[in-house]
Amino acid sequence: MSENDGQRCGFVAVVGAPNAGKSTLVNALVGTKVSIVSPKVQTTRFRVLGICMTGDAQVILVDTPGIFQPRKRLERAMVAAAWNGAADAEHVCLVVDAQRGDDDDTRAIVAKLKEAGRQVVLVLNKIDLIRRDTLLELTARLHAEGLFSDVFMLSALKGDGVDDLMAHLGRAMAPGPWMFPEDQVSDLPQRLLAAEITREKAFLTLYQELPYSLHVESESWQERDDGSARIDQVIYVERDSQKAIVLGKGGRQIKAIGEAARTELEALLERRVHLFIHVKVREDWSEKRDAYSDIGLDY
Ligand code: GDP
Ligand code: K
Ligand code: MG
Protein backbone atom coordinates (compact mmCIF):
# COMPACT_ATOMS: atom_id res chain seq x y z
CA MET A 1 0.00 0.00 0.00
CA SER A 2 1.44 3.38 -0.93
CA GLU A 3 0.83 6.59 0.98
CA ASN A 4 -1.01 7.95 -2.04
CA ASP A 5 -3.80 5.40 -1.78
CA GLY A 6 -7.22 6.95 -1.93
CA GLN A 7 -5.95 10.22 -3.39
CA ARG A 8 -7.70 11.75 -6.37
CA CYS A 9 -6.55 14.65 -8.48
CA GLY A 10 -7.22 16.49 -11.74
CA PHE A 11 -7.11 19.71 -13.73
CA VAL A 12 -10.18 21.81 -14.43
CA ALA A 13 -9.84 24.58 -17.02
CA VAL A 14 -12.03 27.60 -16.30
CA VAL A 15 -12.82 29.25 -19.62
CA GLY A 16 -15.25 31.87 -20.84
CA ALA A 17 -15.68 35.32 -22.32
CA PRO A 18 -13.84 38.28 -20.78
CA ASN A 19 -15.36 39.47 -17.49
CA ALA A 20 -17.59 36.41 -17.05
CA GLY A 21 -16.16 36.10 -13.53
CA LYS A 22 -13.64 33.28 -14.07
CA SER A 23 -11.02 34.68 -11.71
CA THR A 24 -13.62 35.55 -9.09
CA LEU A 25 -14.87 31.96 -9.28
CA VAL A 26 -11.39 30.46 -8.98
CA ASN A 27 -10.70 32.64 -5.93
CA ALA A 28 -14.05 31.65 -4.39
CA LEU A 29 -13.37 27.93 -4.92
CA VAL A 30 -9.83 28.17 -3.55
CA GLY A 31 -11.02 30.32 -0.65
CA THR A 32 -8.34 32.97 -1.07
CA LYS A 33 -7.18 35.32 -3.78
CA VAL A 34 -4.89 33.60 -6.25
CA SER A 35 -5.95 35.50 -9.36
CA ILE A 36 -6.63 39.19 -9.69
CA VAL A 37 -10.06 40.56 -10.52
CA SER A 38 -11.30 43.82 -12.01
CA PRO A 39 -14.16 45.09 -14.15
CA LYS A 40 -11.65 45.58 -17.00
CA VAL A 41 -11.19 42.95 -19.69
CA GLN A 42 -7.64 41.66 -20.05
CA THR A 43 -7.11 41.58 -16.29
CA THR A 44 -5.98 37.94 -16.42
CA ARG A 45 -3.16 37.80 -18.94
CA PHE A 46 -1.76 34.35 -18.41
CA ARG A 47 -2.63 31.00 -16.91
CA VAL A 48 -2.90 30.88 -13.11
CA LEU A 49 -3.44 27.69 -11.12
CA GLY A 50 -5.74 27.70 -8.11
CA ILE A 51 -5.44 24.56 -6.00
CA CYS A 52 -8.23 23.33 -3.72
CA MET A 53 -8.68 20.31 -1.51
CA THR A 54 -12.07 18.71 -1.04
CA GLY A 55 -12.12 15.44 0.89
CA ASP A 56 -9.44 13.23 -0.62
CA ALA A 57 -9.54 15.08 -3.94
CA GLN A 58 -7.20 17.81 -5.11
CA VAL A 59 -8.87 20.00 -7.71
CA ILE A 60 -6.42 22.08 -9.75
CA LEU A 61 -8.24 24.97 -11.38
CA VAL A 62 -6.69 26.59 -14.42
CA ASP A 63 -7.78 30.22 -14.58
CA THR A 64 -7.40 31.50 -18.12
CA PRO A 65 -7.55 34.83 -19.91
CA GLY A 66 -10.92 35.53 -21.53
CA ILE A 67 -11.60 34.06 -24.92
CA PHE A 68 -12.68 36.56 -27.58
CA GLN A 69 -11.81 37.55 -31.14
CA PRO A 70 -8.24 38.80 -30.89
CA ARG A 71 -6.98 41.75 -32.90
CA LYS A 72 -3.58 42.67 -31.46
CA ARG A 73 -0.58 40.54 -30.71
CA LEU A 74 -0.96 40.63 -26.92
CA GLU A 75 -4.61 39.67 -27.37
CA ARG A 76 -3.69 36.76 -29.63
CA ALA A 77 -1.19 35.59 -27.02
CA MET A 78 -3.80 35.74 -24.28
CA VAL A 79 -6.45 33.86 -26.22
CA ALA A 80 -3.89 31.22 -27.22
CA ALA A 81 -2.90 30.87 -23.56
CA ALA A 82 -6.57 30.38 -22.67
CA TRP A 83 -7.10 27.60 -25.22
CA ASN A 84 -3.83 25.92 -24.25
CA GLY A 85 -5.02 25.90 -20.65
CA ALA A 86 -8.21 24.15 -21.74
CA ALA A 87 -6.47 21.63 -23.97
CA ASP A 88 -4.22 20.38 -21.16
CA ALA A 89 -6.99 19.90 -18.59
CA GLU A 90 -9.15 16.80 -18.18
CA HIS A 91 -12.20 18.88 -17.29
CA VAL A 92 -13.58 22.15 -18.59
CA CYS A 93 -15.85 24.63 -16.84
CA LEU A 94 -17.43 27.23 -19.10
CA VAL A 95 -18.32 30.36 -17.14
CA VAL A 96 -21.07 32.52 -18.60
CA ASP A 97 -22.09 35.92 -17.28
CA ALA A 98 -25.81 35.21 -16.93
CA GLN A 99 -26.65 38.89 -17.23
CA ARG A 100 -24.76 39.17 -20.52
CA GLY A 101 -26.26 35.90 -21.72
CA ASP A 102 -25.19 33.81 -24.70
CA ASP A 103 -23.52 36.53 -26.74
CA ASP A 104 -21.19 36.06 -29.73
CA ASP A 105 -18.09 35.42 -27.60
CA THR A 106 -19.82 32.66 -25.63
CA ARG A 107 -21.42 31.13 -28.75
CA ALA A 108 -18.01 30.97 -30.45
CA ILE A 109 -16.49 29.25 -27.41
CA VAL A 110 -19.35 26.74 -27.27
CA ALA A 111 -18.83 25.92 -30.96
CA LYS A 112 -15.11 25.38 -30.48
CA LEU A 113 -15.56 23.18 -27.39
CA LYS A 114 -18.09 21.08 -29.30
CA GLU A 115 -15.64 20.71 -32.18
CA ALA A 116 -13.01 19.52 -29.70
CA GLY A 117 -15.50 16.94 -28.36
CA ARG A 118 -15.10 18.15 -24.78
CA GLN A 119 -17.37 17.29 -21.85
CA VAL A 120 -18.13 20.60 -20.23
CA VAL A 121 -19.64 21.81 -16.97
CA LEU A 122 -21.68 24.97 -17.49
CA VAL A 123 -21.46 27.65 -14.82
CA LEU A 124 -24.01 30.43 -15.06
CA ASN A 125 -22.46 33.15 -12.94
CA LYS A 126 -23.72 36.48 -11.56
CA ILE A 127 -27.18 35.12 -10.75
CA ASP A 128 -27.37 37.89 -8.14
CA LEU A 129 -27.94 40.27 -11.07
CA ILE A 130 -30.81 38.64 -12.96
CA ARG A 131 -34.35 37.37 -12.62
CA ARG A 132 -34.98 33.68 -12.23
CA ASP A 133 -37.15 33.32 -15.35
CA THR A 134 -34.50 34.99 -17.53
CA LEU A 135 -31.93 32.63 -16.00
CA LEU A 136 -34.03 29.55 -16.75
CA GLU A 137 -34.57 30.61 -20.36
CA LEU A 138 -30.86 31.14 -20.83
CA THR A 139 -30.10 27.78 -19.22
CA ALA A 140 -32.55 26.01 -21.53
CA ARG A 141 -31.06 27.66 -24.62
CA LEU A 142 -27.50 26.73 -23.67
CA HIS A 143 -28.46 23.24 -22.55
CA ALA A 144 -29.97 22.59 -25.98
CA GLU A 145 -26.44 22.74 -27.39
CA GLY A 146 -25.93 19.22 -26.02
CA LEU A 147 -22.46 20.14 -24.81
CA PHE A 148 -22.94 20.29 -21.07
CA SER A 149 -22.80 17.38 -18.64
CA ASP A 150 -23.94 19.52 -15.72
CA VAL A 151 -25.20 23.02 -15.05
CA PHE A 152 -24.52 25.17 -11.98
CA MET A 153 -26.09 28.54 -11.29
CA LEU A 154 -24.13 30.61 -8.85
CA SER A 155 -22.78 33.94 -7.74
CA ALA A 156 -19.01 33.77 -7.48
CA LEU A 157 -18.98 37.24 -5.96
CA LYS A 158 -21.40 36.40 -3.15
CA GLY A 159 -20.26 32.80 -2.82
CA ASP A 160 -23.77 31.43 -3.40
CA GLY A 161 -23.74 27.99 -4.99
CA VAL A 162 -19.96 27.71 -5.03
CA ASP A 163 -19.90 24.78 -2.58
CA ASP A 164 -22.13 22.66 -4.82
CA LEU A 165 -19.78 23.17 -7.75
CA MET A 166 -16.79 22.37 -5.54
CA ALA A 167 -18.38 19.12 -4.35
CA HIS A 168 -19.19 18.16 -7.95
CA LEU A 169 -15.64 18.81 -9.14
CA GLY A 170 -14.25 16.87 -6.17
CA ARG A 171 -16.34 13.83 -7.13
CA ALA A 172 -15.22 14.12 -10.77
CA MET A 173 -11.50 13.79 -9.99
CA ALA A 174 -9.93 10.48 -11.03
CA PRO A 175 -7.77 8.36 -8.70
CA GLY A 176 -4.19 9.61 -8.70
CA PRO A 177 -1.63 11.20 -6.41
CA TRP A 178 -1.95 14.89 -5.50
CA MET A 179 0.29 17.09 -7.64
CA PHE A 180 0.85 19.80 -5.03
CA PRO A 181 1.32 19.90 -1.25
CA GLU A 182 -2.03 20.00 0.56
CA ASP A 183 -1.59 23.59 1.79
CA GLN A 184 -0.47 25.11 -1.51
CA VAL A 185 -3.09 27.36 -3.14
CA SER A 186 -1.37 28.54 -6.31
CA ASP A 187 1.58 27.94 -8.59
CA LEU A 188 2.27 31.64 -8.96
CA PRO A 189 5.64 32.63 -7.48
CA GLN A 190 5.32 35.26 -4.75
CA ARG A 191 7.12 37.95 -6.77
CA LEU A 192 4.75 37.51 -9.64
CA LEU A 193 1.69 37.52 -7.38
CA ALA A 194 2.97 40.73 -5.75
CA ALA A 195 3.33 42.33 -9.20
CA GLU A 196 -0.15 41.12 -10.12
CA ILE A 197 -1.63 42.71 -7.01
CA THR A 198 -0.10 46.07 -7.95
CA ARG A 199 -1.47 45.67 -11.46
CA GLU A 200 -4.93 45.01 -10.03
CA LYS A 201 -4.75 48.14 -7.87
CA ALA A 202 -3.65 50.17 -10.91
CA PHE A 203 -6.63 48.78 -12.84
CA LEU A 204 -8.99 49.75 -10.04
CA THR A 205 -7.42 53.16 -9.28
CA LEU A 206 -7.02 54.32 -12.87
CA TYR A 207 -10.30 52.82 -13.98
CA GLN A 208 -11.23 55.29 -16.75
CA GLU A 209 -7.80 56.24 -18.02
CA LEU A 210 -5.72 53.15 -17.55
CA PRO A 211 -3.27 52.35 -20.33
CA TYR A 212 -3.96 48.72 -21.33
CA SER A 213 -0.29 48.17 -21.99
CA LEU A 214 0.60 48.74 -18.35
CA HIS A 215 2.88 46.01 -17.03
CA VAL A 216 4.30 45.44 -13.54
CA GLU A 217 7.46 43.65 -12.45
CA SER A 218 8.85 42.95 -8.99
CA GLU A 219 12.51 43.87 -9.42
CA SER A 220 13.76 42.93 -5.98
CA TRP A 221 12.52 41.37 -2.79
CA GLN A 222 14.49 41.66 0.41
CA GLU A 223 13.63 39.94 3.65
CA ARG A 224 14.54 42.20 6.57
CA ASP A 225 15.76 41.16 10.02
CA ASP A 226 12.71 42.71 11.68
CA GLY A 227 10.50 40.25 9.75
CA SER A 228 9.29 42.78 7.21
CA ALA A 229 9.88 42.65 3.47
CA ARG A 230 11.08 45.37 1.09
CA ILE A 231 9.66 44.96 -2.38
CA ASP A 232 10.72 47.16 -5.30
CA GLN A 233 8.49 47.17 -8.32
CA VAL A 234 8.42 48.89 -11.67
CA ILE A 235 5.26 49.83 -13.53
CA TYR A 236 6.09 49.95 -17.21
CA VAL A 237 4.06 52.08 -19.60
CA GLU A 238 4.60 52.93 -23.26
CA ARG A 239 4.56 56.72 -23.29
CA ASP A 240 5.36 59.75 -21.14
CA SER A 241 1.69 60.74 -21.23
CA GLN A 242 0.79 57.38 -19.67
CA LYS A 243 3.46 57.81 -17.04
CA ALA A 244 1.83 61.11 -16.08
CA ILE A 245 -1.54 59.31 -15.70
CA VAL A 246 -0.09 56.59 -13.49
CA LEU A 247 1.71 59.14 -11.30
CA GLY A 248 -1.27 61.48 -11.08
CA LYS A 249 -1.23 65.07 -9.91
CA GLY A 250 1.42 65.47 -7.25
CA GLY A 251 1.91 61.69 -7.27
CA ARG A 252 -1.61 61.11 -5.99
CA GLN A 253 -2.47 58.10 -8.15
CA ILE A 254 0.73 56.15 -7.63
CA LYS A 255 0.39 56.78 -3.90
CA ALA A 256 -3.13 55.36 -3.89
CA ILE A 257 -2.02 52.35 -5.96
CA GLY A 258 0.95 51.73 -3.66
CA GLU A 259 -1.09 51.99 -0.48
CA ALA A 260 -3.79 49.63 -1.71
CA ALA A 261 -1.20 47.12 -2.94
CA ARG A 262 0.81 47.28 0.27
CA THR A 263 -2.27 46.75 2.45
CA GLU A 264 -3.23 43.66 0.49
CA LEU A 265 0.31 42.29 0.40
CA GLU A 266 0.63 42.69 4.15
CA ALA A 267 -2.58 40.75 4.70
CA LEU A 268 -1.50 38.06 2.26
CA LEU A 269 2.08 37.70 3.54
CA GLU A 270 1.08 38.29 7.17
CA ARG A 271 3.87 40.78 7.83
CA ARG A 272 4.88 44.38 7.25
CA VAL A 273 5.76 45.33 3.70
CA HIS A 274 7.74 48.31 2.44
CA LEU A 275 6.66 48.73 -1.14
CA PHE A 276 8.51 51.00 -3.55
CA ILE A 277 7.00 51.50 -6.96
CA HIS A 278 8.79 53.19 -9.85
CA VAL A 279 7.15 54.13 -13.12
CA LYS A 280 9.18 53.73 -16.29
CA VAL A 281 8.51 54.21 -19.98
CA ARG A 282 9.24 51.23 -22.18
CA GLU A 283 8.12 51.78 -25.74
CA ASP A 284 5.89 49.27 -27.50
CA TRP A 285 6.43 46.42 -25.07
CA SER A 286 3.09 44.91 -25.98
CA GLU A 287 4.32 44.28 -29.53
CA LYS A 288 7.63 42.80 -28.44
CA ARG A 289 8.11 39.12 -27.88
CA ASP A 290 10.85 39.18 -25.27
CA ALA A 291 8.70 41.22 -22.93
CA TYR A 292 6.59 38.10 -22.36
CA SER A 293 9.32 35.78 -21.26
CA ASP A 294 8.94 36.60 -17.56
CA ILE A 295 5.25 35.77 -17.48
CA GLY A 296 5.47 32.53 -19.39
CA LEU A 297 3.08 33.43 -22.17
CA ASP A 298 3.14 30.97 -24.93
CA TYR A 299 2.10 31.73 -28.49
P1 GDP B 1 -12.85 37.31 -15.61
O2 GDP B 1 -12.38 38.33 -16.60
O3 GDP B 1 -13.77 36.32 -16.24
O4 GDP B 1 -11.74 36.67 -14.84
O5 GDP B 1 -13.77 38.12 -14.58
P6 GDP B 1 -13.38 38.71 -13.15
O7 GDP B 1 -13.33 37.62 -12.15
O8 GDP B 1 -12.18 39.58 -13.28
O9 GDP B 1 -14.69 39.57 -12.86
C10 GDP B 1 -15.12 40.59 -13.74
C11 GDP B 1 -16.07 41.49 -12.99
O12 GDP B 1 -17.28 40.79 -12.67
C13 GDP B 1 -15.50 41.99 -11.66
O14 GDP B 1 -15.90 43.33 -11.47
C15 GDP B 1 -16.17 41.08 -10.64
O16 GDP B 1 -16.31 41.66 -9.37
C17 GDP B 1 -17.55 40.85 -11.28
N18 GDP B 1 -18.18 39.59 -10.84
C19 GDP B 1 -17.64 38.35 -10.85
N20 GDP B 1 -18.51 37.42 -10.39
C21 GDP B 1 -19.64 38.10 -10.07
C22 GDP B 1 -20.92 37.72 -9.53
O23 GDP B 1 -21.21 36.56 -9.21
N24 GDP B 1 -21.84 38.72 -9.36
C25 GDP B 1 -21.58 40.02 -9.68
N26 GDP B 1 -22.53 40.91 -9.47
N27 GDP B 1 -20.38 40.41 -10.18
C28 GDP B 1 -19.43 39.49 -10.38
K1 K C 1 -11.74 40.97 -15.67
MG1 MG D 1 -9.73 36.79 -15.04
The total number of structural domains that make up the chain:
2
Residues with CB under 5 Å of ion ligand 3 are: 22-23, 44
Positive or negative torsion for Cα 236, 254, 35, 147: negative
Of 14, 86, 59, give the one whose Cα is nearest residue 173.
59
**What percent of the chain has a predicted confidence (pLDDT) above 70?**
93
| Domain coverage including residue 196 | 190-295
pLDDT mean over 155-161 = 98
CATH number, residue 165: 3.40.50.300
Which of the listed residues 25, 37, 42, 45 should we mutate to test ligand 1's pocket, taking the one with most ligand atoms within 8 A of CB? 37
For residue 23, how far is its CA from the centre of ligand 2 (angstroms)? 7
pLDDT tens for residues 101-111? 999 999 999 99
DSSP 65: P
Q: Are residues 167 and 217 in the same domain?
A: no
Summarised one tens digit per residue, pLDDT across range 252-287 is 999 999 999 999 999 888 889 999 999 999 876 555
Give the ligand whose atoms come closest to the C-alpha of residue 20. 1
Alpha helices, H only, 128-280: 132-143, 162-172, 190-205, 240-247, 252-269
88 and 41 in a common domain: yes
Conformational region of residue 170, where left means phi above 0, alpha means psi within -120 to 50, and beta covers everything else = alpha
Residue 182 lies in a domain: no
Distance between CA atoms of 296 and 16, rounded to whole angstroms?
21
Q: Which range among 51-60, 70-79, 273-282 shows the weakest confidence by mean pLDDT?
A: 70-79
Q: In testing the pocket of ligand 1, which one of 14, 15, 19 has its CB within 8 Å of the most ligand atoms?
A: 19
Say whether 255 counts as a known binding-site residue: no
Question: Does pLDDT of 228 surpass 80?
Answer: yes
Residue 180 falls inside a structural domain: no
Question: Last residue of a domain, which of 175, 206, 237?
Answer: 175
From residue 4, give the alpha-carbon distance in Å to each of 168, 171, 175, 186: 22, 17, 9, 21
Is residue 125 part of an annotated ligand binding site? yes
Same domain, 143 and 275: no
Judge whether 22 is annotated as a binding position. yes
Specify whether 214 is located in the same domain as 271.
Answer: yes
Of the three residues 147, 175, 203, the one that is the final residue of a domain is 175
More confident residue, 46 or 235: 235
